[in-house]
Amino acid sequence: MKEKVAAVLDKIRPSLQADGGDVVLVDVTDDGIVKVKLTGACSGCPMSTITLKNGIERLLKQEIPEVQSVQAV
């Protein structure tokens, strides 16, 4: 599943990079928890929680039903 998650994150990455940020995949647990690290402008952005939940998590759940949630680490 980690490879699937990485492929979806690669689709999201250009949008984040356009705003000076990025996302790094840290881990995918056996129970479907995806752990990511927001970097660059995203790491200190007050909107990062919205980006994480409404953007990254929504798209990952849509494309990979096994994903339960996304957490920033």
* CATH number of the domain enclosing 36: 3.30.300.130
Instruction: Tell me what pLDDT residue 13 has.
Output: 94
- Whether the CB-CB separation of 56 and 72 falls below 8 Å is answered with no
Give the count of domains, the chain.
1
pLDDT digits (tens, 9 = 90+) for 26-65: 999 999 999 999 999 988 888 888 899 999 999 999 999 9
Residue 7 above 90 pLDDT?
yes
User: Model-level pTM?
Assistant: 0.91
Instruction: Tell me what pLDDT residue 44 has.
Output: 82
Length reported for the chain: 73
Instruction: Tell me what pLDDT residue 43 has.
Output: 85
Query: Domain range holding 46?
Result: 2-72
